Amino acid sequence: MEGEDDANQIFVSIVGALSRSQSAAFGTALLFAQEYGILAASAEDRPFVPVTTVVLEGVPRDMKAVFRHWDDSLVPAAALMRGKLGRGKSLRIVGLEKALEATRR
């Protein structure tokens, strides 16, 4: 998303080994992100809703940029929270609409 203002992006990140069993909480987080994006656009009188990305695995560079003291050496701790060491620096993301569609099935 090069060239976009970081303030115009919303990230929904799912963390932890039990996240798969929390489908209701996942759906609620997605709906919150959708509503928050609409509210942010109207409150700031912007002509568009911020881009919303659902992060299923890994950490996008744009997301790291909003944390002042991001430390890549601590990222394997997230893999341990999932109950296994994953593929390392893999990244799995989907758009908000795709994620919402998947929760409606």
Answer yes or no: are the C-beta atoms of 51 and 4 closer than 8 Å.
yes
Query: Has residue 51 been placed in a domain?
Result: yes
Express each pLDDT in 25-82 by its tens digit: 888 989 999 999 999 888 888 888 888 888 877 777 887 888 888 777 776 555 545 5
38 residue type, one letter: I
The total number of structural domains that make up the chain: 1
**Contact yes or no for 79/86 (Cβ under 8 A):** yes
In a domain, 14, yes or no: yes
pLDDT number for residue 93: 85
pLDDT at position 56 is 79
In a domain, 13, yes or no: yes
Domain carrying residue 53: 6-103
CA gyration radius for the chain? 15
Q: For residue 1, tell me if it sits in a domain.
A: no
